[in-house]
Amino acid sequence: MNSKLVRWALSAFVLFGALMLAGALSLCVGSVGIPLKRLLCLPFEGRGSVEYSILFDVRLPRLLLGIGVGGALAISGVVLQGMFRNPLVEPYTLGISGGAGLGVSLNVALRMYRDVGTVSIPLSGFLGAMGTVLLVYILGTRRGRMGLQRLLLTGVMISFICSSAIMLIMAVSKAEDLHGIIFWMMGSLEEPHGWLIKLVLVTSLCGLLTSYVFAIDLNALSLGEEEAAHLGVKVERAKRALFILASLLTGFSVSAAGIIGFVGLVVPHFVRMFVGGDHRILLPASYLAGSTFLVLCDTLARTIIAPLELPIGVITGIVGGSLFVYALSKRKYEF
């Protein structure tokens, strides 16, 4: 039996188990505790009990969104770090979060959501994200070639422009709108639209499958674009596809859950540290680890000072950052 395959299967299995445990935990704990035994019986009891509606109307959607968003951000980070061969790149580097934030801020400040409905919030976020990505793509492409440094710099600049514009909007908007904007920007897995949750989950799973098609290309790309081309990789096509993929994944995540930072930066590094840099295992492992991480962070965020809820970004940053720095000091790590 191929030892590499065994090792990979084992890592995937362990991570899947971790996700299952984290999922069960997130369903059990909260303002109303549901014991594990009860959790297993509830689906068969049918509607009626308070616990049933807490489980299926509140906690399960949150769990599913956490899995979708965590996984999407993590693989988007893997893809971008791999393609740019830069350990500091993350899904928000290219201006996606800035654009989405700008879209939402404009929406809230102009109170468009009052006429169009709350669905316009994720929609404006998505449009803002896609608008900036398109701009970055056009500015970063010359003669049909994506210059990666150029793309990166353009993305960072557009990000800054967007954040300045957001600050401007916040400076001139009313206090109640301000609250709405800040709340959205801090990110949360609370999402009232069930279809959006399903959409994000399906997109992120499709994204994982699509990215997997490029796993070998990403491996070859880690030797540099020219070397990859020498190995027969269609470099421009791969870069374009991966860029679009990462943008869509991040765009959907951000519009549903706001700007949850750190997952896309730290999870890929963390996973690389344990399973290695081969994208054939790195991609699925990061998906699972990203989901697990976000689900756990969300569980912490809503239990730590219950009944109040901490912004999930606070937890991802503090917990994720400290864990990573600790691991980095203990292990040998090569990007």
Partner 1 sequence: MSSEVLKVDDLTCGYGDRPVLKGLSFSVEDGELLGVIGPNGSGKTTLVRALTKILEPMDGRILLEGRDIKEMDLSELARRIAVVSQNPEGGSWMTVEEFVLLGRVPHRRKFQLLETKHDEEVAERAMALTGTLGLKGRLLKELSGGERQLVSIAKALCQEPKLLLLDEPTAHLDIAHQVRVLDLIKKLNRDDGLTAITVLHDLNLAGEYCDRLLLLKDGKLCRTGLPEEVLDPRVIEDAYGVKVVVGRNPASSKPYVFPIPNAK
SS3 readout for 245-314: HHHHHHHHHHHHHCCCCCHHHHHHHHHHHHHCCCHHHHHHHHHHHHHHHHHHHHHHHHHCCCCCCCCHHH
Q: Using CB under 8 A, which of 226, 305, 308, 330 touches partner 1?
A: 226
Compute the distance between CA of residue 310 and CA of residue 302 in angstroms, rounded to an integer: 6
Residue 223 is a binding residue for partner 1 (CB under 8 A)? yes
Q: Using CB under 8 A, which of 20, 116, 230, 304 touches partner 1?
A: 230
Residue 198 is a binding residue for partner 1 (CB under 8 A)? no
Shortest separation between residue 276's beta carbon and partner 1, angstroms: 6
Compute the distance between CA of residue 77 and CA of residue 89 in angstroms, rounded to an integer: 7
Beta carbon nearer to partner 1, 96 or 266: 266
Beta carbon nearer to partner 1, 197 or 233: 233
Shortest separation between residue 271's beta carbon and partner 1, angstroms: 12
| Site residue total, partner 1 (CB under 8 A) | 25
Compute the distance between CA of residue 61 and CA of residue 67 in angstroms, rounded to an integer: 10
Shortest separation between residue 117's beta carbon and partner 1, angstroms: 43
Spatial CA neighbour of 298 closest among 53, 15, 26 = 26
Handedness of CA 31, 34, 36, 42 (dihedral sign): negative
Spatial CA neighbour of 291 closest among 34, 73, 129, 119 = 73
Q: Using CB under 8 A, which of 276, 303, 311, 321 touches partner 1?
A: 276
On whether the CB atoms of residues 181 and 169 are closer than 8 A, the answer is yes
Shortest separation between residue 3's beta carbon and partner 1, angstroms: 11
Q: x/- site string to partner 1, residues 78 to 117, per CB under 8 A?
A: -------x--------------------------------
Stretch of 38-46, 72-80, 192-200, 212-220 contacting partner 1, by CB under 8 A: 212-220
Beta carbon nearer to partner 1, 131 or 147: 147
Compute the distance between CA of residue 263 and CA of residue 290 in angstroms, rounded to an integer: 7
CA atoms within 13 A on the CB side of 135: 20
Shortest separation between residue 50's beta carbon and partner 1, angstroms: 47
Residue 210 is a binding residue for partner 1 (CB under 8 A)? no
Stretch of 50-58, 64-72, 133-141, 232-240 contacting partner 1, by CB under 8 A: 232-240
Spatial CA neighbour of 216 closest among 192, 191, 236, 234 = 234
Q: Where are the alpha helices (DSSP H) in 90-147?
A: 96-109, 112-116, 120-140
Beta carbon nearer to partner 1, 190 or 278: 278
- Joined together, the tokens standing for residue 186 give 């801090």
- Interface positions with partner 1 (CB under 8 A): 2, 4-5, 85, 216, 219-220, 222-224, 226-227, 229-234, 272, 276-278, 280, 334-335
